[in-house]
Every structure is written in C-alpha cells, then in structure tokens.
Structure 1
Amino acid sequence: MLPSQRLLAAADPASATTTLAPVSVHASDTIVTESPSVQVHVTRKKLQQQNVTTSADALKYAPNMIVRARYIGDPNAVISGRNAGTLQSARSLVYADGLLLSNLMTNGYNGAPRWGMVVPEEIGAVDIMYGPYSALYPGNSLGTTVLIHTVLPQQLVASVSTQFFSQDYHDAYDADGHYNGSQIAATLGNKQGRWSWLLELSRLDNDSQPLQYATATAGGNAATAIPVEGATLDRNPNGTPRLVYGANSIEHTVQTQAKLKLGVDITDHVAALFTLGSWHDEAEDRTRSLIRDAGGQPVSSGVISADNQIWTLPRSGLAPTSSIDTHMLYGAELNGHLDNGWYWTAVASDYDFLQSQAATAKLAEPGAPVGGPGTIADMSGSGWNTFDLRSSGPLDDQNMLYAGVHGDRYILNTQVHNANDWLGDADGTQVSAFAGRTQTRAAYLQDVWSFAPAWALTVGGRLEQWRAYGGLLANTSNTLRYTDRQRTDFSPKTSLSWDFSDDWQLRLAHGKAVRYPTVAELFQGTISANAIVNNNPDLKPEIDESTDLTLNRQLTNGHWRVSLFQDRIANALYSQTDITITPTVTSVQNIAAMRVRGIEGEFGLTDVWTPGLDLSGSLAFNDARTLDDRQYPLANGKYFPRIPKVRASLLADYRFSPQWDMSLGIRHSGRQYGTLNNSDFVDTYGAVSSFTVADAKLRWRYAAQWTASLGVDNLTNEHYWVYHPYAGRTVFGQLRWNL
C-alpha cells in the first residue's frame, strides 16, 4: 500500500462517494493519530448530517468542547475544551495534513486557528484528541488537538456548492434585524499515473449581527444635555447600571480562499504532497445609533438626557473599524515506508501574514463610514513556520517505537500609526509597536510495549528547548528592548491499557505538558516614564500534570466511552489585575495553581431501533477551580472563567429513504463565569451564558449528481452571550453538484 493511501479508512468511504468520489486521505499524520489519548473520530458522513459552513463546524458536536464562532466566518473562532476557556487559544492545536493552523503567536480571543485555510469540501475526516498523553506533540496539546485529514482524488472529480443563510436576530436594545450571507465553493481534481492534484476555490460573503454595544456613563453638563429616545437602561454582568445607546461591530466580511494540493507517488515506497493555500478577508465593521433626538435624528456623541438622568457618550463609542488580510500557507511533505515495516514522514510548513491591517476611526461614524482621523494597526510579516521529522516501526514482536524531532518559530510584528484618514494609508506618526520571536526545538521517543496478550504499556518523553528573543516595545518617542530568554524542559508520558475482553478496554494515562508563553504574552505592554509597564517578559510556562482513566466499550452497532480526568496546571497564564500592589496592574500574569477535574461520557450508535436511525451524544461534568492566585486572591476557590460546569450534545440522523435523511441536534452548555472572582451574575451583554440550542437539517439526493438541503441552527432563536452575542436563528439552504 502506498503511503498516500494509509488513511483511506479514516475518510469513511461510504459517505465519501457522495462528494469527491473515490477519494483517499493523505498520510501526513498517520503516526500521530496512533496515541494513547482519548480520541473522537468525526467522519465525512457525520459532517453531512450537520449544517456546515466552515471547517470549525466539524467540532460542533464534539464531546466536552465548543468553538466560539459568533457568526459565520468569524476569524476569532477559539476552541474551548476540558481545561481551556474561550480566552485560552494556546491550549489547543489544529493541523491540516500535518500543517499547523493554530495561531500560537498569541493566547486569547484573537488567537483562533486559521480555519479559513480548509474548506469543508476537502475534509475527509477529523480526529480530536484530548490531553497531553502523547510525546509526539508540543505542550500546547495540554487541552485539545485537532487533526484535519483532507482528500486527494483517485480519478477525475469536480463539484460546485452554493449555500445561502439568513439570521433572525433579536436583542433587548432594539438592534433587531435579519442578517444574510452566501457561500460558493468549487473543486476540480484528478489522478493521472503517479500524480494527483486538487484545486479548491471558495467565497464567503456574510453580514453579522451586532457584536458589541455602545454604553454611556452617568454624569455630564445638564445644561447642554439633549433629550433622546431609544436608549435602554441596562446592567453589566456585575449588576452595575449602564445605558446602551448604540450597536457596534456589525460586520460585513468577504472571504476568498484558494488552495492547490499536488501529490506524487515518487516510488512504490515514497510519496510527496505539496500545498499552496491563500486566504483573503476584507471586513467592514459598521455602527448604528439607537437613540434619536426630538427631531428624530440619530445622536452619536455629546451629553444626553435619558431615563431621567444625564449621560455622557464617549466620542469614539460608535467608531467603525475595517480590516484587510491576505494569508499564505506553504506546505511540503515527504513520507514513505521501508520493507522492514518502518514508516517515516517529513513535514515543513510556513504560514505568512502577507498583509494584515486593521483600521479604527477615532470619532463616531454611525451608518456608512465617511473617513477622518484614526489609527491603523499593521501585522504584516508576522507568522510561523514548523518542521517535523518522525518515524515509527516495530523493534520486535512486542514493541512499537515512535521517534522524531520538531522545530518551530513564531514571528510577531505589530505597528500602530495615526492616519489622517483611517480609510486610507497610515500616513501619521507611530503610536506604538511591539515585536518578538519564540522558537522551540524538540526531540521525542515513545514506545508501546505489548507485554501480554491483553496489556500494553506506553512510555514516552519529550525534550524541548525554548527561546524567546528579539522582543521590543515602542511608543511615539521610545523603543525599548527585552532580554533574550532560554530554558529546557522534559515532559514524560505514560499509559497502561487492558483489553479485558474482546469488546472492553480500560486505559489509565498520565502526561506532563509545558506550554510556553506566546510572543504577545511576553512582549505586549505599555511604556510609561521611559519604562515598560503592564507587562512581564519573565512569565513562566504553564505546566500541566494530566491524568485520564477511560473505559471503552465496542458494540456491534457502535461504541460508548466514559472518562475520568484531572488537570493540575501550575503557572496558568491569564490576563488579570494584581490587587496586591498600588497602583494595581492589569496584564498577563501567572496564576500559581488551578485544577480541572471531571467526568465525560460519549456514545455513537447506528441503526438504533430501526434501520437508518443513527444517534450520537455526550455528557460532561467539569469542575474547574482557581487554587492559588497570589496576585488576585479573590479568585481562590472560585470557578475558573469560561469552562462550564456541564456540557452535553445529542445528534439524531434518520435516513428514511435512499434519497432523504433528516437530523436533529441539541447542544447544551451549563453555568459558567466570565470573571475570576465569579462576581458576574446578570445574563447580559458582556456575560458568558449557559444555553441550550437545537439544530435541524433535511437533505434530499434528488438525482445521481445533485443534493439539496435545508437546515436551521438555533431553532428556538435562543439569545445567549459569550461576552458578544451569539447568532440568532439561522436558516440554511444549499444546492450541490458533483461529477
């Protein structure tokens, strides 16, 4: 079997024939899927049962997980899992055919994986791994590792898909509305002799609901106050009164993606894959005033009178923004096998922020932007590159050895300039800048010893050397540089599995992971009195000691699993306020100790009760606590932010005829907090909600090459928050043709 065909089983061949038929999944990460971690496999068939618009939707029903996608096409769609909230993006890894898509230059809402580099049309299968139990991964695997396997054609293939969606949004501030979008995607590929190629193109055009709201503070000169109507007296999540007078970040995004994959079987033992990807995004965030004066004209600044009080509107409260990004992905892979049963893979990747600019107006401009003074932030030239060389093979009849080396480098450059016209060029003075680099070199070994017919012991270790260098921080007049840093860590891993019958397995795993600070955590701060403040370049890495006990049961028509897990994380990195000093300082800081423990169950069954009915579901209970926070002791003993106490999902799909199938899904996230001291109790803008939403889809294969579908997400139009509002009820319509 050729290396490019080793993962064919992962693609779910029965369902693959309805899209790019026939297909095979490339072997780029065959080795790394063979690990002692808890794994969830999402097939192409299951993706077709869901409403899918971006590759992030592949995780929609994954156990004990959520992707914070606020709207379709959200570039800040961060993964939250067992031990990570939606502000801890660096606790997850996402790969596509061994090419890193995770943005590990930062850790936060803006550190989401670059989902746009993979379109759903090309996904063959997705594997999700929980916890740092494999030595083959860097320390960012302490949370969740996602492996997206894409497809290469085995004959001439072509497809065109057109999708339309419309959101019915409502809120308590009279910013209701319908927000519409569309997506078109096409693929063309072939296999000719030893060569395979696939070209993909897609374009997404969407309008989001308001993502933020403009609020006013009480007070001001009553003599100049303008009486207004339409303002809403509200409370923030901590219960403090505020006035909501406008809607912000109503985003119109146009995203274009193109990718070429070229595979070649060089010999019967060696294959190569080359990837060239491009993602371009033009986004415009408009604002809208919700208040009117006596003449019915919108008001966007100044002093107003509302609800028998005087309020002052900030000058930039309704300031619009825009951004333009062009990212490039370059990848090369060489893999093969030897006659003695050993396999090897070499993968190199480069992700380049070829263009990345974000412009912000300084003054309110509700409605259509008109231009004027502002600032422009430029991240062009930032990015990362990686290299992995790994191999696996038998030492003898009882031992399978995995070995490899790894290297990565992250480069972040950010400059902010004034602009006379924020819709034009950055032609003004420099406001601020920060930059820096991190680099990791690693080597690992892992051995699986089958010392008895029903037993297997996995022992491994990862040695990592990390550097932070080239850090600088600047304002209008000063540029200050940071001292370079270096450290070395060893992370041992072990697991013991017992197949105590043909269909039962019990596995105990323990692993240590070291998650190093990102460039932004280390070097992003401010300058005051010619000194760096609100920043600590000596941050310690997060160190996770993780344990998992899992019981697996295989059934004739599926499986179920129950896992007990615990993570004790020292020096957790989080943005907080140090209240032990005067004046207080808010920055990224180390929390001495936090702990997450819980129980997690999931199942997948086919042909339940009647042929054609498939069920899958999960239920997880999480107890995430801050144990020792020396800078903010009010957090001690409290729930850690943005990790819900309960997560659950259920997806039912019924194929009631050869041409028709329908699905109904339910997703639940329980009580969670947005603050370290758990002081937030009002479910409003800025809060992190509990929620239960339902999704549905109807699919009709009305001809050999044609499929039509109609779906809806958030069927009951639930209104819920993750600081920003999530999308309201969204209706989908899709038409698809494939050769």
Structure 2
Amino acid sequence: MLTAALAAALPAHAESTAGYEEAAITITAARSDRDLKNLNTPALGVGIGSDQIGAINAANVEDTLRYAPNLIVRKRYIGDPNATLSFRNMHTSQTPRALVTVDGFLISDFLGASFDTAPKWAVLAPDDVARAEIIYGPTSARYSGNSLGGTLRLDTRGIREESVRLNAQGIFQNYKYYATNEDLFGYALDGQVDLVLGNRGGISAGYRHFENEGQPQQWRTAAPGTPLAEQAIVDTELGFPLRIAAQDSVVDSREDQIRLRGNFDLTDGWTIRSLAALLLDEEDAADPVSFLTGADGAPSFVGVAGVTRGLSETSELLTGIGAAGALAGWSLDLTLSHYTALRDWTRSSDPVDLETGLFPDRGFTTDANADWTNMEVVAERRLGAHAVAAGLSYMGYDGDAVTADTALWRGSGAGAVRTASGGETRLLGIFAEDAVNLAPWASLTAGLRYEHWRASEGFLVSRDDRVDYAPRTEDALSPKLALSINPPEAGTEIVLSAAWATRFPTIGELYQAGLISYGPDVGELDLGGFDPSLRPERGLDLQLTGSRRFGNVELTLSGYRQRVEDTLFSQTILVPGPDDPNMPVSQSLVTNIGETRTWGADIILAAEDIFLDGLALDANISRIDAKITRNPLNPALVGNRFPRVPEWRANASLRYAVSRALDLAANVRHQDTPERNIENNASSRCDTFYCVSPFTFVDLKARIHFKRFDIDLGVDNLLDEKAFVFHPYPGRTFVAGLRWTGGL
C-alpha cells in the first residue's frame, strides 16, 4: 500500500532551485520515491513508489491508485473510460473536485460533473508511471479550487538510457450473476523505444493496443402482466421485486494509444519537457441477451423495458510543453497544455418494442466537441528564513453536444436535432505563498489565492427552440495557513492547517440538456430543469496530522473537518407543474445544497523490512462522516448522509521480495455500504445490482525476473465477490504479463 510521506512545511518538501532543504521526515530503509517531490503542501500527502506500483495488477493507469488511503476510483470494468476519482468525502460524480496532472500537465475533465467526465488516464500506459503523489484537501494556494477534494500528480518514468520495452498482457474473467454466465477476455500489446540525446535529454515513443470484454453493466426488467414476465428471475433484495429478464450487452472496448514524451537540457540550467498522446477508442455494446424465451423457444425481448444497443467512437489529442530554470535569482516553472476531442460520437438505438420484442432501426446519434487549455507559471525563491512562491494560472474549457434523430442508428447520417447544449468557462488564478522558519523546530506557511471565473456562450436547443444565456463572472479569495512542528525528538512531526477554497460550476452543471420526465412533453428538453445561476462551492478544510517513526515503521494519524457551503449536487425538489403552476411536481436537477459537513480520520501505517528482510507492509483505515447540514430547497434531506461516501474504508498491501528473481504481493481493499442516493431511502443500502454495495477484494500478484524478462502472474478479486456501484464490479479476474527490455 502507500507509504504516508507526511508533507512538512513548504520548504521541507520542494526540490527546486529555490534552496529548499531536505524533508524533515524520512523513513529508514524506505525509498526516496515515497516522499513528496513535486506536490507542495504543508498538510497530509502520500507518495506511491515504484515497488508499490509493481505489486498491483495494473491493466490501466488508474489501477496504480488502488490501495491509496481514503480514495476510490469508480472503475466499472477494465478499460472503462468513465473511471472517476473520488477523494475522502466526494461522490464519485463530483469530478470537478479532483485535480489530476501528468508531469504537471492537466488531464482533469472539468467540462461537467458526471460519470463521463473522468480524468484522461489513457494518455499514459501503465508502465509509464514511475510514481504518484497525492494531497488531500485544498491545502496549498498553488492549486485551483478544483483541489477541494484533493490533488493527484502522476510522474512518468525517466529516460536514462537507450532501450526497447515490449509488453504483452492477457486478461480473463468468468462473470456469473442472475442468468449471466460470460467468459470474458482481454489483452494489451505495448512497445516503447527510449532514445538518449547525448547527455542532454531523451525521447520516448510508444504504441499500445488494448482490447477487453467487460461484463454486462446493467440488467433489464420485465413489467408484471407482460406475456413472458413469469419467466423472469425475481430479486427482492431491494424490498420490492425486480423481475430480471435480460442483460445489457457485453462491452467490447478497443483502444489504440500513441505516446511521445521528451526532456532536454538547455543552456544556463534550463530544461524543457513535453508530452503528446493520441487516443483512438471504440466501444461496442450492441448485443444484449434476453433470459426469456418465446413460444418458438428462441430468446425474446417481449415486455422487457429499456433495452437498447449502442456504439461509440472517440479520437482525442493531448499535447503539453513545460520549461524550468532560474532567472534573476528566481526558480521558474512554466507549463502549457491543450486537450481536444478530435471526434466524439455515440450511436444508440431506440428501446426495443415491448409488444414485438424487436429492435427498431431508428435511434439517435450524439456528436460532442470538447477542448481545454491550461497554462501556469510558478516562481520560487528563498529570502533568508522565507521560502516565497508566486504564480499565475489559466484554465479554459469549451464544450457542446448535439443529439439528433437517425433513421438507421448504426450508420445513417444525423437527422432532426433533438437537443443541444454547450458553453465555455474561464478561470484565471493568482497566488502567493510564504513558508517561514519560526524556529529550528517550527515553520509557518501562509498563502492566498485569487481566482476570477467567467461562464459564457451558454445555450440550450430543443427541436426548434433555442435559449441563449448571458455571461457571468465571479471572484474569490482563498487563504491558506499551516503550522508545522518538528519536536527535537527525531522522527516526529505535527501539522495543523486551515484552507479555504472556491470551486466554480462547470459547463455541464450550468447548461444541462435534461429531458422532461412527465406530462405531455415527456422526452423533450427541459429548458427549466437546470439553474444557470448556480453559485460556486465554498469550502473550509481543517486538518490536524501527526507522524512518528519507530525504526523502520512510520505511523501517521490525521483528523479533518470539511465544511462546504452551496455544495453542487443533484437533488429532487418541487417545481411548478407544466400544466398548472399552482400544482408542484418533483424535479431532479443540479442545485446548491446549503451546507455539507464532513468529519473524518485516517490511520496510515508504512513498514519496511519487518520480521524479514524484504518484507514490507502498507495499511490504512479511514472513517468518514459526511452529512447534509443545511438545505433550504429540500429541508427533509438535512441530516442525511452524503451518497456514495462510505463510513469506513481500509486497504492493506503485504509485499515480500523473496529473492532477486521473485517478488510476491497480497493486497486487500475494503469499504462498507454507503448510501446510494441523497434521499437515504429504504432501497439505498443493499448488496445487489442497483445498489452501491460493500466490498472486500483480495488481490494477489507474483513477479518473476529472468535476465531481460519479467513475468507477471496475478488475480484480482480472488474470492469472486459480487459487488456493485449500481453497475457490477468485475468478478474474479486473472492477469498475466510478459515484459522484455533490451538495449539499442
């Protein structure tokens, strides 16, 4: 698991030319890549080192975070493009609260707050990741209000020698639930060439092809009274019968990935770094399966509601360049990156005909456009007892989507427009931070961030109706303060921090193309089902963290309290009815919840060479109490637990380097049952499809080293536990890999 590399005050963790000293706390026998090196924070931070990553059956980049303290990646199946990241008290759809970078280049999708705005993990292959750094909460003025949940930085493997790397990986699972019984296969082939440019830098170029069959993501029900309903499998776990009659299609995922990284030393101590990734993705979910049979003995969808077929295709490009060096006594770092969706379309059939059980040819197609640009410059300098940092940042996001009818969902062109929506946001940030040594055993870090936000070009289209929205602007100041104490006794550190942060709404939250679910206009765009005047979230984060080293063991205890005013989240409220404004009806839409509060605590243990040389243990346990404390729009929700946030999370990783030729790992990840919905109603907590269930997954891995070859043999979810995040998580999955590294 993770070693908790508790961040000291700002001067203690930065590795820049600003003259910052070494971190006060180091773990005896732990490798230096466990310490925070690039994410500067005076509060809790953890590093994931190369040996920890090597103990994971990583099929995709996001798997490297699997055993991190108090976070989860909602990954429904291997290759899932909607693998959202959740820190501590975040719902897994609150993606704008997670700031994610690769070598400093932004990969967070802040176009919306939904399951389909996950970070762009696929700009890397799993073997590109050398280490990761995580900080919890908005504790540094360096990072925008999108760090309200936390910040993650992925660092790539250095280019140190000319080499060729060839990887092959195979995946297999047999998934069974209800009448589903599927043998599912996947594989990945990856080749990479590293070229060294004398003693001044290097270039790495790679290509990866990935395919996988994911288990069906949803089961469909038959309405009572329909001709074949009595054949359905009845699930009463929810407190009412679900008549399971069919499964959605197995998800066939294919991805081609072209990657280019580089770094070069210029004159006068300046260096440049670059990253480019072209992603070509396809998903096929066009083969649902019915569990019912008609009079002729053939499978039948008669009476089965909501069954559709679909295809999707995306082409994405991320490019970034950065420079670092010294100028006039200041250490400077400049970063520029741009993401664009070259193509992003989905095709879906209309639902199966309930009377005939036949799929219609008609359907709809959605074409989306998305791009964002991120720029940042940071300057640092030591002035006596002060370590000063200042910087500017800019984030610009643009997106729109058009959904249109089509006569032939598999291939004909778009017809009449059903709905369309879009807009743009801009965020300009300025920060200043000062870390001052008060005494040999104490330091104080104070920071202030100013942000100016603008939303514009917002529009909604419903058939022939169009509504355009006036631009909006908002400003925010977010102060930060932290006191770090290092008692004279070596190996102990205490940090108390307070941080304010403002997270502004996204395009998707402001201009949602929601559909009317009631009345004569059902299925049409609900032009009143959103709020273009949403207020930003404003959070206060308090943390108290203590860390102590006992020989080869480090123990970290962290308590925190976070209060967020005007939390942005979907809830059901009463609105005027479409026929009679005096008769209110229920409507679900993104709103500002008055206030949510979270109390929590983390215990993190890191141990090296315990009992035996080469035996390491990382373990953590977290308790979270996240509740709604004020909600003027729906007071009945006050006191409810925030959905998808469990009360307990725990992880453990035991690793043993048996010899130079063999490494073994046994890992466990657990969470208890969270509430599925904000209403916390009777159907919210259960352990079956439709719910967000508890899980305890046991994962094993062995790595064999033989000359230039590495052989990986592993299994995830060894006990084949069936768990759900509404959709099912994978069952027992076997992973095998072969890696060869040679020189040029």
The one-letter code sitting in structure 1 at the alignment partner of 2:414 is D
Equivalents in 2 of 1:7, 1:215: separation in Å? Answer: 63
8 Å contact 1:407–1:442 — kept in the other structure?
Answer: yes
The alignment status of 1:708 with 2:714, answered yes or no, reads no
8 Å contact 1:371–1:423 — kept in the other structure?
Answer: no
**1:108-127 pair list within 5 angstroms:** 108-127=114-133
Equivalents in 2 of 1:136, 1:736: separation in Å? Answer: 39
Deviation, 1:339, is 7.6
Q: 2:108 aligns with which of 99, 102, 113?
A: 102
User: 2:12: which partner in 1?
Assistant: none
Structure 1 residues 50 and 288: alpha-carbon distance in aligned structure 2, compared to 1, 3 A threshold: same
The one-letter code sitting in structure 2 at the alignment partner of 1:384 is W
TM-score by length of 2: 0.90
Deviation, 1:631, is 2.3
Equivalents in 2 of 1:272, 1:8: separation in Å? Answer: 24
Equivalents in 2 of 1:154, 1:226: separation in Å? Answer: 65
User: 1:71: which partner in 2?
Assistant: 77
Structure 1 residues 531 and 61: alpha-carbon distance in aligned structure 2, compared to 1, 3 A threshold: closer
**1:343-382 pair list within 5 angstroms:** 343-364=331-352, 372-380=361-369, 382=370
Equivalents in 1 of 2:533, 2:501: separation in Å? Answer: 19
- Compare 245-254 and 289-298 and name the one that shifted more: 289-298
Equivalents in 2 of 1:670, 1:236: separation in Å? Answer: 17
Q: 1:504 aligns with which of 492, 498, 515?
A: 492
User: 1:329: which partner in 2?
Assistant: 318
Q: 1:487 aligns with which of 448, 456, 474?
A: 474
Equivalents in 2 of 1:425, 1:267: separation in Å? Answer: 56
Equivalents in 1 of 2:515, 2:176: separation in Å? Answer: 42
Q: Identity, % of aligned pairs?
A: 29
Report how many residues are paired: 698
**1:121 aligned counterpart, secondary structure:** helix
CA RMSD of superposed structures (Å): 2.5
The alignment status of 1:198 with 2:204, answered yes or no, reads yes
Equivalents in 2 of 1:658, 1:263: separation in Å? Answer: 31
The one-letter code sitting in structure 2 at the alignment partner of 1:540 is R
Structure 1 residues 655 and 227: alpha-carbon distance in aligned structure 2, compared to 1, 3 A threshold: closer
| CA offsets 1:33-55 (integer angstroms, 9 cap, x no match) | 12113111001121111111111
The alignment status of 1:692 with 2:711, answered yes or no, reads no
User: 1:677: which partner in 2?
Assistant: 679
8 Å contact 1:527–1:533 — kept in the other structure?
Answer: no
**1:698 aligned counterpart, secondary structure:** strand
| CA offsets 1:68-121 (integer angstroms, 9 cap, x no match) | 111111111111221202121111011001111111101121111111111111
The one-letter code sitting in structure 2 at the alignment partner of 1:471 is G
Deviation, 1:671, is 2.2
The one-letter code sitting in structure 1 at the alignment partner of 2:191 is A
Equivalents in 1 of 2:156, 2:687: separation in Å? Answer: 40
**1:301-340 pair list within 5 angstroms:** 301-302=302-303, 313-314=304-305, 317-338=306-327, 340=329
8 Å contact 2:564–2:595 — kept in the other structure?
Answer: yes
Structure 1 residues 670 and 227: alpha-carbon distance in aligned structure 2, compared to 1, 3 A threshold: closer
User: 1:180: which partner in 2?
Assistant: 185
Equivalents in 2 of 1:727, 1:454: separation in Å? Answer: 49
The one-letter code sitting in structure 2 at the alignment partner of 1:293 is G
User: 2:637: which partner in 1?
Assistant: 635
Deviation, 1:558, is 4.0
The one-letter code sitting in structure 2 at the alignment partner of 1:544 is G
User: 2:284: which partner in 1?
Assistant: 284
In structure 1, stretches of 5+ residues that fail to align are: 17-23, 303-312
User: 2:274: which partner in 1?
Assistant: 274
Deviation, 1:330, is 1.0
8 Å contact 1:228–1:291 — kept in the other structure?
Answer: no
Structure 1 residues 227 and 554: alpha-carbon distance in aligned structure 2, compared to 1, 3 A threshold: closer
The one-letter code sitting in structure 1 at the alignment partner of 2:709 is W
Equivalents in 1 of 2:353, 2:342: separation in Å? Answer: 29
Structure 1 residues 449 and 688: alpha-carbon distance in aligned structure 2, compared to 1, 3 A threshold: same
| CA offsets 1:683-726 (integer angstroms, 9 cap, x no match) | 2211011111100001111x221011110000000001001000
| CA offsets 1:508-546 (integer angstroms, 9 cap, x no match) | 011011111110000014588998211100001111100
Structure 1 residues 389 and 170: alpha-carbon distance in aligned structure 2, compared to 1, 3 A threshold: same
| CA offsets 1:600-625 (integer angstroms, 9 cap, x no match) | 01111111111111100100011111
User: 1:617: which partner in 2?
Assistant: 619
Deviation, 1:152, is 3.3
The alignment status of 1:593 with 2:595, answered yes or no, reads yes
Deviation, 1:348, is 0.6
8 Å contact 1:166–1:732 — kept in the other structure?
Answer: yes
Deviation, 1:425, is 3.7
8 Å contact 2:685–2:693 — kept in the other structure?
Answer: no
**1:238-253 pair list within 5 angstroms:** 239-253=239-253
User: 1:657: which partner in 2?
Assistant: 659
The alignment status of 1:384 with 2:381, answered yes or no, reads no
> Stretches of 4+ moved more than 6 A in 1?
6-9, 527-531
Deviation, 1:338, is 4.6
Deviation, 1:253, is 0.4
User: 1:571: which partner in 2?
Assistant: 566
Deviation, 1:399, is 0.4
Structure 1 residues 2 and 263: alpha-carbon distance in aligned structure 2, compared to 1, 3 A threshold: farther
User: 1:646: which partner in 2?
Assistant: 648
User: 2:554: which partner in 1?
Assistant: 559
Equivalents in 2 of 1:628, 1:120: separation in Å? Answer: 42
8 Å contact 1:580–1:631 — kept in the other structure?
Answer: no
TM-score by length of 1: 0.91
The one-letter code sitting in structure 1 at the alignment partner of 2:411 is G
Deviation, 1:205, is 0.3
In structure 2, stretches of 5+ residues that fail to align are: 1-14, 577-583
8 Å contact 1:2–1:270 — kept in the other structure?
Answer: no
Deviation, 1:371, is 7.8
**1:218 aligned counterpart, secondary structure:** coil
Equivalents in 2 of 1:441, 1:258: separation in Å? Answer: 31
The one-letter code sitting in structure 2 at the alignment partner of 1:510 is A
8 Å contact 1:135–1:460 — kept in the other structure?
Answer: yes
**1:521 aligned counterpart, secondary structure:** helix
8 Å contact 1:269–1:338 — kept in the other structure?
Answer: no
- Compare 527-536 and 158-167 and name the one that shifted more: 527-536
| CA offsets 1:385-426 (integer angstroms, 9 cap, x no match) | 110011111022x10011000001111110011111111143
